[in-house]
Structure 1
Amino acid sequence: MANKESVLSTLPKDLPLDFLRTITNNFSADHIIGTGGFGTVYKGIMPDKQLIAVKKLAENAPLARDKAFTNEVQNMMALRNDNIVKLLGYCHEGQKKVVQNNGRYIVADVFESLLCYEYLPVGSLQKNLFEGPSNMPWHTRFKIIKGICNGLLFLHRIPIIHMDLKPENILLDHNMTPKIADFGLSRLFGQEQTRANTQNVVGSYGYIAPEYLYRGEISAQSDIYSLGLLIIETTTGEKNQPKQNEPSARGFIDQVQKIWTDGHIASKYPQLNPNDLLEVKVCIKIGLECVQIDRKSRPSIEKIVERLDGRCAN
């Protein structure tokens, strides 16, 4: 194992751009493993064949590229938790390029911002739940839900608010252990701070808490709202798909509330034993509590973890 990690362990955290170009075959299309609002993720093949994921930040990201880069590096470099993606290194390097400016060609420093993470071959929860046939057994779904909650508990104790929890930002390792990824929108709060306000609301439609969406209020409960939708989607296997120009998940939530009765759960999971069926019911109940409109009515992440571990009454 020491051999396998040798090249990576000898590298500086601040990686040269030329090295990242080499391991991604000059950011070639056949190395792309994912794309999103913040940029493109490439598979990097190290000299000893170990794989890493290299995210090249987009210039037109929903948050200024420098801000997203600073957020990820500052908020993630020291994080070590089984349910958080490991940030292995970064690169912010300028190179002189000829660019057009007001009709004239000039030589300017053009900066590239890149982030390097552990490589997770199974891909995102989104891909595994909703893209292709999903026959994920209940015990795997429950393990994923518990893992996401444990990762969020770790973040909220710092306190870091993730601000963009959704199936695309949960990555799975070969043991189906979930890892929270993409900290481009994350906020590090001061120890005494529990809430903040912003005019600049950015995030993913269908997962944004209403108080943040309509009033710009940010708090740990913003993440709890998104977590509730993640728990509901993972439990039911149904996708939260907000309508065009409709940022709220209200329709999806109302539908789940109406349809997912005890009888429906039993018919949906006929092969489950009584204990497993109870887990499904508890997950739907917790998920629906997390998406209440009044943020103060949502459970804390500590309470959610306790309930999932069976340490308190449901």
Structure 2
Amino acid sequence: MDHEATITEQELERMLFDESAEPKALPLSLLERITNGFSYRMEIGRGGFAVVYKAMLNNGAVAVKRLSNTYMYENEFLREIECLVKVKHKNIVRFLGYCVDTQGNMAMYEGKFVLADIQQRLLCFEYLPNGGLNGYITDPSFGLEWRDRYNIIKGICEGLHHLHQRNIVHLDLKPANILLDECMKPKITDFGISRCFAEDQTRIIASKVVGTTGYMAPEFVSHVITQKYDLYSLGVIIMEILIGDKGGQSVDNVRIR
């Protein structure tokens, strides 16, 4: 159990409104309290290996991401923290803190009591009220004004540029991983499968490549990861924003002029 995480709710609230604040270790008891014991009523998102909750403070709200299977997804948790601590940009979701907690729990196994470790791995972010971009991709005749579409595209490009300048490849860029604040400013989130390159590194050969169908570059079959992966995803997202068609495009339908 992490005994050094002593941040209070008031301190977390001050961090939320201080954009210069650095991420800190947060106590599990605090995250449990502000999510009403991780109540299903507070859920705002659910993915392959995590559940996201809206957590209420006295004068604001944050988002708490709780890993579903900490033993299976420990690497994703560590990789996400590694990427998040390196970035601070208006178009990337603000990372406020993390929780690493392990408690012993007595359980019956094959007729005997055994002490089993229960792990908790959580991340805390700013809460963005307008949800994911995927909820705003509609026919050009409806939904967002053209200026809003342009500003969203521009913001995504600036956020992605910031990541690439810091040798981070996102690898799962898609509308659901682009959140919108109260002013419809886009912020890139979810770095669970992202990779951080060394300063002079331009590619990684991965044992396997995961992502979302429709947004993965065709060359993923080679298992050679470069920044081009994100650029392909960005192109698909831009097309979706402009024409209102969800789910990506087949490579066979892309023409090079």
When residues 45 and 208 of structure 1 are mapped into structure 2, their CA distance, relative to the original with a 3 A threshold, is: same
User: 2:236 aligned with 1:225, yes or no?
Assistant: no
CA distance in 2, matches of 1:180, 1:80: 11
In structure 2, how many angstroms separate the alpha carbons of the residues matched to 1:225 and 1:103?
A: 55
Out of 105, 108, 116, the residue aligned to residue 116 of structure 2 is 108
User: CA–CA distance in 2 between the matches of 1:82 and 1:199?
Assistant: 33
Higher strand content, 1 or 2:
2
1:31-75 alpha-carbon deviations (Å, 9 max, x no partner): 0011111311001112x23200000012189xx421111111111
State the partner residue of 1:21: 32
Report the residue type matching 1:43 in the other structure: K
Q: Could you tell me how far 1:103 is from its partner in structure 2? A: 6.9
Q: Which has the higher contact order (CA 8 A, sep 6+)?
A: 2
The residue number in structure 2 matching 1:56 is 66
Match of 1:236 among 243, 247, 251: 243
Q: Give the structure 2 partner of residue 158 of structure 1.
A: 166
Answer whether contact 1:15 1:89 (CA < 8 A) is retained: yes
For residue 94 of structure 1, report the CA deviation from its aligned partner.
0.6
| Secondary structure of residue in 2 paired with 1:185 | coil
Paired amino acid for 2:157? C
CA RMSD of aligned residues (A): 2.7
TM-score by length of 2: 0.86
Instruction: For residues 202-238 of structure 1, give each alpha carbon's deviation from its aligned partner in whole angstroms, at most 9, with x where no partner exists.
Output: 11111111112x1111000011111111111111111
Which residues of structure 1 form unaligned runs of 5+? 242-248, 258-287, 293-314
Structure 2's unaligned 5+ residue stretches are 1-10
For 1:103 and 1:128, the matched residues in 2 are separated by 54
Structure with the largest fraction of helix: 1
Question: Does the 8 Å CA contact 1:34/1:42 hold for their aligned counterparts?
Answer: yes
Greater displacement, 163-172 / 101-110: 101-110
CA contact (8 A) 1:4 1:50 kept: no
Structure 1 CA distance for aligned equivalents of residues 53 and 40 of structure 2? 8
Matched, 1:77 2:96: no
Provide the C-alpha distance between the structure 1 equivalents of 2:23 and 2:230, rounded to a whole number of angstroms.
Answer: 33
The yes-or-no answer on 1:32 pairing with 2:60 is no
Q: Deviations over 1:134-188 (max 9, x none)?
A: 5111111111111000000000011100010001100000111000000001111
- Asked whether the equivalents of residues 53 and 119 of structure 1 are also in contact (C-alpha less than 8 Å), the reply is yes
Q: Percent identity?
A: 42
Deviations 1:232-264 (A, max 9, x none): 1111111126xxxxxxx426x61xx5xxxxxxx
| TM-score, reference length from structure 1 | 0.71
**Secondary structure, aligned partner of 2:137:** helix
Paired residues, what number?
Answer: 243
Runs of at least 4 residues off by over 4 Å: 7-12, 99-105
Residues 83 and 196 in structure 2, CA contact (< 8 A), matched pair in contact too: yes
The residue aligned with 1:45 is 56
